[in-house]
Structure formats: C-alpha cells, structure tokens
Amino acid sequence: MKIAVIDYKMSNMFSIKNALDYLGFECQITANSKAILEAGGAILPGVGSFPEAMQHLQDLKLTNVIKEFASSGKPFMGICLGLQLLFSKSTEFIDCEGLNIINGKVENLSKYLPNEPVPHVGWNTVIQHKATRNNNSTSFLNSQLFQNDHYYFVHSYFVEPANPEHVFTQTSYANFNFCSSVLVDNIFACQFHPEKSGPKGLKIIEKFFN
C-alpha cells in the first residue's frame, strides 16, 4: 500500500515518514491532489495552530481533496493537529471552521484545567471507550493496544465529538477525561503521536493500514 503524508507546510512529516519507512510501507510526502487521491492510505499530520493550518489547507486547495479521500473508504489517519482539523470548528485564538468531516468542536484544556500546566506534555495512558458501529477494522479494534497503554502527547486543545460513539479512546489529565482518539468508519485519528510512542505506537500505524 502506498501512503500519502499530506504536506501543508506546518507539520513534522519526516518523523511520520521515518516510521512508515521502518514499517516497510511505500510513502510519499505530498501536497499534490492527484497523488493523495490515488494513494491507498493517507495521513494528515500537524503541529501548530488550527487557524493557520486551515489557511494553509485552503491556500494549497487541499480541503476538498482531504474530504474526498476521507469519504473514499480507504484508511485515513489524523495525528495531533491532524485530528483536530477533521472537526467542525475550533476556539483556538478565534472561532475557526474546520474540515467538518467529523461533527464536533475543539476546545482549550485551560478552560477546564485553569490551575494545571498546559500544554499537556509527556506520556499518558489511553483507554478504549467504545468501538464504533459499522466499523470493519476488527483486528485493529481488538488489537489490545488501547488498554491502559502509554503514548506520547503534546497539546493544548482537545476534541469533543458531537456523537459519543465516535470516541474511541479517552485519556485523563489532572482528573479531566478527554477524547484522545476517534474511530469513524475508515478514519482513525488520535491526539497522541504514535510515531513518537515507541514499538506500540508503530504497531498502531501498522495495524491500521494493514
């Protein structure tokens, strides 16, 4: 399977490419619409602010490309900001519309944890919340990679899916539970960084695209 790592000029794409290379996948970092749509799988990475990222996606004419790929049935992964961009809107700096592939919003952790250090940085556990209905990724769902396993986080915002069934894992930071990944049909997207989370993080990538 050839995997497109979507390049919108503000993400750490090379650590993801290194992970895919290590796992034996053929991959390409690209902003080319045709290359993305013809790939067997795609990853939307991301580091930085939501409004700036959306502006880059619009400038590069990638918003409709991402929506088309996400609706294709082929495996699509979002990582960190790449998870948040899939949602309807964000409150980061300004009210900003997202890709609206998943209904919901992106909120600031500081709003709920005013006395805790934000961003939330470091290793934390993820716990599987509920398998999505009508999802055929049986081996991925039952992979035992989401049962109190530790993954690496660095973020100040988190997603709130409108549909609770879209929440795949939850994580607790300072006793505040937030959605740390979603699984919606062919889309898996996570707030943590699997490419920076050692062997189990790599196994998530491998199982999802296989």
pLDDT for the residue 134 = 47
Distance (Å, rounded) from C-alpha 5 to C-alpha 27?
7
Q: Find where tokens 């409150």 sit.
A: 91
pTM score, whole prediction: 0.93
Question: Comparing C-alpha atoms, which of 107, 141, 149 is closest to residue 125?
Answer: 149
pLDDT for the residue 27 = 96
Catalytic residue among 92, 190, 195, 206: 195
Residue 122 above 60 pLDDT? Answer: yes
- Tokens representing 3 are 């995997």
Number of domains in the chain: 1
**Which domain, by its residues, includes 33?**
2-209
Catalytic residue among 27, 80, 96, 190: 80
Three-state SS at 36: helix
- 96 part of the active site: no
Q: What is the mean pLDDT of residues 176-198?
A: 96
Catalytic residue among 96, 155, 193, 206: 193
Q: Where are the beta strands (DSSP E) in 96-186?
A: 96-97, 102-108, 120-128, 147-155, 157-161, 167-173, 176-184
Residue 109 above 70 pLDDT? Answer: yes
Q: Counting beta carbons within 10 angstroms of the beta carbon of residue 167, is it exposed (0 to 12), middle (13 to 18) or buried (19 or more)? A: buried
Residue that wins the pLDDT comparison between 188 and 9 = 188
pLDDT band at 30 (very low <50, low <70, confident <90, very high): very high
Packed helices 198-209 and 13-23: angle between N→C axes, nearest 10 degrees: 70
**How does the average pLDDT of the chain come out, rounded?**
92
Residue that wins the pLDDT comparison between 83 and 93 = 83
Q: What is the mean pLDDT of residues 79-87?
A: 97
- Tell me the pLDDT tens digit for each residue of 167-178: 999 999 999 999
- Could you tell me how far CA 60 lies from the centroid of its own chain? 20
- Tell me the pLDDT tens digit for each residue of 123-166: 999 998 765 544 555 567 767 788 889 999 999 999 999 999 99
CATH of the domain at 176: 3.40.50.880
- 193 part of the active site: yes
pLDDT for the residue 193 = 96
